[in-house]
Structure 1
Amino acid sequence: MSELGRGEQTRKLIVDTAVRLFGELGYEKTTMRAIASAAGVSVGNAYYYFPSKESLVQEFYLQIQRAHLAAVEPILASGGGFADQLKAILHAAVDVWAPHHQFAGKAIGLAAVPGSPISPFSKESEPSREMALDVFRRLVAGTSQKMDPRLREELPEILWLGQIGLVVFWVHDSSRGQSRTRMVIDRAVPYLDDLIGLSRMKVLRPMTNRALELMRLLVTALVASSGTRTAGGSPSPR
């Protein structure tokens, strides 16, 4: 096995161990020393790969996004209607999240703190955020669904924000296998598909524009404390 292969295995072992301990003990109570000990590596080796607990969480985010992207590739390649593809993408996300429900429940409060480096809106989260946004950019770029041109431009970010809301619901979903989360997907996506289709009607354009302006205002407020640009890359509300 190559040095690179061993290195990647060690990185994954440390991340997997950290996520398990975060779920069992809580984020604040889990030290880098405890993570190293449980992973069977030296503290120095753990710090060599990850300088902080926050960097461990960021690597976890990236692993989740890579797994989701692998599941999404055949969905995007297969074509099909917008609603069917979006439902499949979101169900694939729930599949990827499923083993980490305990950890997510402990981490979501920390991620919601203004200025937190593990917030999905932080500068530190930009790589994983861009990977997530790119899935929805590809979905929207490839769809034949008719919609208002401005909505088409903003839709990938709206879908990403919707997925964040879905994560919050999923974290609090105590149903067996988080089945209520899947029910929400199946019921909400057709409704969203209808709204998107209606957006192309001229009589509804002012309402669409007001909704988009409100969304942009909310996003700007969410990222203001992080000192970064808005999630989609826009520096300020349009």
Structure 2
Amino acid sequence: MQTAKAAGTRQSVLSASLRLFAKDGFQKTTMRAIAAESGQSLGSTYYYFASKEELAGELYRSLRQKHCARAWPKLAAGNNLEAHVRAVLDTVLEVLEPFHDFGPAFVRAALTGAEGPPEPGRDLALWRQAVETARPQPPLSLRQDLPELLWLLERGVVLFWAHDPSPGQRRSRRLIAHAAPLVARLVVLSRLPVVRTIFDDLIGLVRAAA
């Protein structure tokens, strides 16, 4: 169990890293500089965080929580699915926007689990709310699996954003503007057997890769 002193030391290292990341950028900040800024020894700094990537993972975890808090109120009952998909995806870029320099590190954190232990309940709750409050409701046969597919879409958008060199990441915003109505149309068309078969195959692929 972590003592209050240990928790304070860990927080001082994290706070110092965020100050230096903001001032010097992720690439130029070193663990030695973080140790000096926090007033801790280099060994103590490495004890709490094994690398800059782990510190970036901690930041990414806090930004995920902020994204959920900001996006949830935008999921008003009665909005259509397209509006909800766009609201959630636009908000994730709004939250991440000041940290584009961290993009590749965020992606690594998400892929390796450095952002912290998986929290599927929390991660999917936002998308469940987006689906459950949308009107008209998606087909019942798809409703249970749709939040997970939309969560994967969000991860794909973050991956695209992380490597988007366009000014202000405009291409990422255009991607959302086109993806939201496309997703909504496909969900409506899933009532057709041939489209539903495609969704079933996609869901099966996700389950196999889990």
TM-score (norm 2): 0.78
Q: CA RMSD in A?
A: 3.2
**8 Å Cα contact 2:84/2:134 also seen in 1:** no
Q: Which residue of structure 2 lines up, in the alignment, with residue 214 of structure 1?
A: 205
Fraction of identical pairs, as percent: 30
* Aligned-residue offset at 1:216: 2.8
* Aligned-residue offset at 1:107: 5.2
How many residue pairs match? The answer is 202
Q: Match of 1:13, as an amino acid?
A: S
2:178 and 2:119 mapped to 1: Cα distance? 27
Q: Match of 1:161, as an amino acid?
A: L
User: Where do 5+ consecutive residues of structure 2 fail to align?
Assistant: none
* Aligned-residue offset at 1:87: 0.4
Please state if 1:86 is matched with 2:78.
Answer: no
2:139 and 2:71 mapped to 1: Cα distance? 26
* Aligned-residue offset at 1:164: 1.4
2:16 and 2:69 mapped to 1: Cα distance? 22
Change in 2 beyond 3 A, CA 1:180/1:197: same
Change in 2 beyond 3 A, CA 1:72/1:151: same
Q: 1:142 aligns with which of 120, 130, 133?
A: 133
Q: 1:10 aligns with which of 9, 12, 20?
A: 12
Q: Match of 2:151, as an amino acid?
A: W
Please state if 1:97 is matched with 2:96.
Answer: yes
Q: Match of 1:186, as an amino acid?
A: A
* Aligned-residue offset at 1:147: 3.1
1:64 and 1:137 mapped to 2: Cα distance? 19
Change in 2 beyond 3 A, CA 1:209/1:121: farther
Q: Which residue of structure 2 lines up, in the alignment, with residue 76 of structure 1?
A: 75
Please state if 1:24 is matched with 2:27.
Answer: yes
Q: Which residue of structure 2 lines up, in the alignment, with residue 236 of structure 1?
A: none
